[in-house]
Structure 1
Amino acid sequence: MPEAGAATPQMLRRVNARAVLKAIRSIDVATGTELMARTGLTRATVIAVCEDLIRRGWILERDPLQDSAPRQGRPARRFELNSRAGFVMGMDIGAATVTAAVADLRGNVVGRSSLPFRTTDIPASERISTVDRAAGLALHAAGATPGIVLALGAGIAAPVDRDGKVLAAQHFWSLFDVGLRAALKDLHGWTVLLENDANLAALGECWRGSGSGVDDLVVLLASERLGAGIIESGRLLHGSRGAAGEMGYLDLLEGVGSADGIAKLAREWFAAAAVPAPGPARGRPAAASRAPLTARQVFDAAARGDRTAVVILDRLSERMARIIASLASLVNPEQVVIGGAVAESAAALLPRIIELLPRFTATPPRVTASPLGDAIVTAGAIRHALDYVEANSLDLVLPTPYSGMITTA
């Protein structure tokens, strides 16, 4: 029996297969030389791994390029990921809505759906049923069936430990402790990877957002409630029970006082300030005195010069500067990203946040707004599922046999 930590041939095969799949996922067609450069493996190892993955259906071999100029030796072999050999699913399961996205093995979304929950506090069976219907609609949009799903990544608005267990220490968190992994395994045979939604947002931002190449990163989901996903030295932080990045401490932070998000406060503060006074409301949007504005409308009003909205954006900017400064003191990130559905609007806060940060911290990070919008959690969930598939490719059986050679058109 090998010593603990010793590399076995089987372990090396897994590591090498994962490295090749990860490398080839980002290239249209790769030669052995290109895969050597991206993985650090020898030519013999790359070719052996590719041939094994071809037999298993994960990659395809293209015909060699036909060069008009005479060349010595064999033409370079060319390999391509079989991106439709199987699919993954990413989910964003909030308190009010579930969004499901089906993606191929390159991470390209081919089907998406969203469904509301009837109410926030519904029975576990109803929540599971709604999640399952959203998954079915996304598969239908992709023209696919449940049997093609190799893994499902799901983000929930509650702490999740390294083993995928939900921390149900608060009532709101307990709403997500519904036995989803076992239920979908029983229904469809799916492997479900539960994770905190802000953690998945951090993975998504590092993969396809503004955090690419950043090893020390915090992503703040900031719409209704604040939550943070923390990447430290390239690793996602969970904490002992999965609660790293929970923002309950903001109740105690001077000038903040709660974990309420940007969208929620923009609406509430504007509504509180928009009580009609005697006489005309100069400079105020006509709708302000008749119906509550959405957060986007508050930001739009500020852009038009509405005085109340401008003051609210300034308050939000100072509040976010204090929050980001607290994170800078705790984990010292290189970059903090404001993400979620509010990200596009929150870009208007950045100049004032950046101006204020040095007042509150000696180590101000770079602050950006995510370009991923409300797709940030599903993007991270897809990436999480792809990572699982790549790590376990030698154990997974693909749903359909594929030919190992395709011909260049």
Structure 2
Amino acid sequence: MTSAPVTAATPALLRRVNAGKLLGVLSTAGVMTGTGLIQATGLTRATVHAVCNDLIDMGWVVELDPGRDDTAVGRPSRRFEFNSRAGYVLGIDIGAGRTTVLLADLRGTTMAKAGRSLSAVKTPADRTSLVHEAVVEALAVAGVTDSQVLAAGVGVAAPVDRAGNILVDDEFWRRFDTDLGKHLTELHGWPALLENDANLAVLGEHWRGEGQGVDDLAVLLAGERFGSGLMDSGRLLHGSRGGAGEMLYLKLVEGVGDTHGIARIARERARELLADPTIETSLRALATERPAGSNAPIPTSTTLPSHSITAEQVFAAAAAGDEVALGILRSLAVRTARVVATLAILVNPELVVIGGAVAEAAGQLLPDIEQQLAGYTSTPPRVAASSLGDAIVSVGAVRHALNYVEQHALDLQLTRPA
């Protein structure tokens, strides 16, 4: 048996390792003195100061004026801070009906936001073009150039394998540009890191949402279609082709039968009930309201257009005590509890977060969902509604891009602003 070759610890390699260690500490801390960095890393004073000088030259770290301390003896301590504006990242959510772009600095602080409706797109190329427009707008708002962007996380409502390829086995998934990452990189120059939207949602929730500090976590995107992102022991579950967390199996689950999400079911169930003129509900008045100034005829109960009632109106009517709307919510809770139970049985998360645009309204379902769960599984998780709202995927996309920057920081060439 032959042993693996051992790489010699050259001075250059040690310097790089030490630079990564110091940058990791500074990127998550505030201002630190040389003494503080020595204590945090275990490196010698000479090494800390030498490597910090390297990081300052590269643009990753800035040195601040030494703080005044009249009681101190000798030279004042050098003070260092991570340069959060050394570059920027983008978080891009490309959904079925809308794209949202966040521009953030290297601490994840949002600098600009832009969006475009995708409801009228006819081809994948049209979708990519509108994403490009939203990116250009976000950069212009913040006065940032493409050359200052170090990476972009890009979420799509389709499975994405580890190489960044979109799976197109399903008709819905084929709506997305299969070469999306390549095309965005050609347009802008920065790496576009494609990932499934629910996977990014769980990253965002773990970073900035209800899932902070929870390493066994599932996020259930529950708007128009159900999809889930899964985290086990702090590690994102991906699957061989990016399909971990896909929920087409719900077609086989009794009491569910499809992947339709909370918003869609609420809307469709309300429409079915409103078609019966004998049912009295405040939803009827909401469905027949016309926009101010509109001359369109008021639809009758049998000619209500599909967009005449919204999920938000159903939840609002339920909150006001409407019995018909409350009945819809009860049926939604039973159905959603079955979906959550499947995740509890398959992956046993500590917490399931209901996310997406429907998250705030879905908070009304939580008591009924949790009550139902105990009858479906012996390991019921806690259930919460996301506080990130419809930004959950774009926030996760920012985190995805920051992960890339942190991993490749010492190989990235920073562009100094003019």
Once structures 1 and 2 are overlaid, which stretch shifts more, 133-142 or 9-18?
9-18
Which residue number in structure 2 is paired with residue 365 of structure 1?
A: 381
Q: 2:314 aligns with which of 288, 298, 303?
A: 298
Q: Please tell me whether residue 196 in structure 1 is matched to residue 196 in structure 2.
A: yes
User: Which consecutive residues of structure 2, in runs of 5 or more, have no partner in the other structure?
Assistant: 289-298
Q: Is the 8 A contact 1:201 1:376 kept in 2?
A: yes
Give distance in 1, aligned partners of 2:330 and 2:8: 56
When Rg is computed on C-alpha atoms for both structures, the one with the higher figure is: 2
Which residue number in structure 2 is paired with residue 90 of structure 1?
A: 91
Q: 1:346 aligns with which of 347, 362, 366?
A: 362
**CA separation of 1:172/1:36 partners in 2, compared to 1, >3 Å: closer, same or farther?**
farther
Q: Is the 8 A contact 1:17 1:390 kept in 2?
A: no
Q: What secondary structure is seen at the aligned counterpart in 1 of 2:375?
A: helix
Which residue number in structure 2 is paired with residue 281 of structure 1?
A: 280
Structure 1 residue 67 displacement after superposition: 1.4
Which residue number in structure 2 is paired with residue 311 of structure 1?
A: 327
Q: Please tell me whether residue 376 in structure 1 is matched to residue 378 in structure 2.
A: no
Q: What secondary structure is seen at the aligned counterpart in 2 of 1:138?
A: helix
User: Could you give the per-residue CA deviations for residues 291-335 of structure 1, whole angstroms, max 9, x where no partner exists?
Assistant: 532111111100111111101111111111111111111011111
Structure 1 residue 165 displacement after superposition: 1.1
Structure 1 residue 277 displacement after superposition: 2.0
Q: Please tell me whether residue 255 in structure 1 is matched to residue 271 in structure 2.
A: no
**CA separation of 1:118/1:346 partners in 2, compared to 1, >3 Å: closer, same or farther?**
closer
Which residue number in structure 2 is paired with residue 109 of structure 1?
A: 110
Structure 1 residue 281 displacement after superposition: 2.2
Q: What secondary structure is seen at the aligned counterpart in 2 of 1:392?
A: helix
What pairs with 1:123-202 in structure 2 (closer than 5 Å)? 123-202=123-202
Give distance in 2, aligned partners of 1:257 and 1:327: 16
Write the letter of the residue equivalent to 2:211. Answer: G
**CA separation of 1:194/1:302 partners in 2, compared to 1, >3 Å: closer, same or farther?**
same
Once structures 1 and 2 are overlaid, which stretch shifts more, 55-64 or 25-34?
25-34
Q: Please tell me whether residue 52 in structure 1 is matched to residue 54 in structure 2.
A: yes
Write the letter of the residue equivalent to 2:125. Answer: S
Q: Is the 8 A contact 2:274 2:284 kept in 1?
A: no
Give distance in 2, aligned partners of 1:144 and 1:401: 9
Q: What secondary structure is seen at the aligned counterpart in 1 of 2:154?
A: strand
Structure 1 residue 232 displacement after superposition: 0.6
Q: Is the 8 A contact 1:14 1:391 kept in 2?
A: no
Write the letter of the residue equivalent to 1:275. Answer: A
Write the letter of the residue equivalent to 1:295. Answer: A
**CA separation of 1:8/1:325 partners in 2, compared to 1, >3 Å: closer, same or farther?**
farther
Q: What secondary structure is seen at the aligned counterpart in 2 of 1:101?
A: strand
Q: 2:346 aligns with which of 311, 326, 330?
A: 330
- How many matched pairs? 397
Q: Is the 8 A contact 1:215 1:231 kept in 2?
A: yes
Relative contact order, CA 8 A, sep 6+: which one is greater? 1
Once structures 1 and 2 are overlaid, which stretch shifts more, 166-175 or 220-229?
166-175
Write the letter of the residue equivalent to 2:389. Answer: G
**CA separation of 1:11/1:238 partners in 2, compared to 1, >3 Å: closer, same or farther?**
farther
Write the letter of the residue equivalent to 2:32. Answer: A
- TM-score, scaled relative to structure 1: 0.90
Q: Is the 8 A contact 1:157 1:196 kept in 2?
A: yes
Question: Cα RMSD between the aligned structures?
Answer: 2.4
Structure 1 residue 36 displacement after superposition: 5.6
Write the letter of the residue equivalent to 1:143. Answer: G
- TM-score, scaled relative to structure 2: 0.88
Q: Is the 8 A contact 1:14 1:392 kept in 2?
A: no
Determine what percentage of the aligned residue pairs are the same residue: 53
Q: Is the 8 A contact 2:200 2:393 kept in 1?
A: yes
Which residue number in structure 2 is paired with residue 406 of structure 1?
A: none
Once structures 1 and 2 are overlaid, which stretch shifts more, 227-236 or 280-289?
280-289
**CA separation of 1:263/1:142 partners in 2, compared to 1, >3 Å: closer, same or farther?**
same
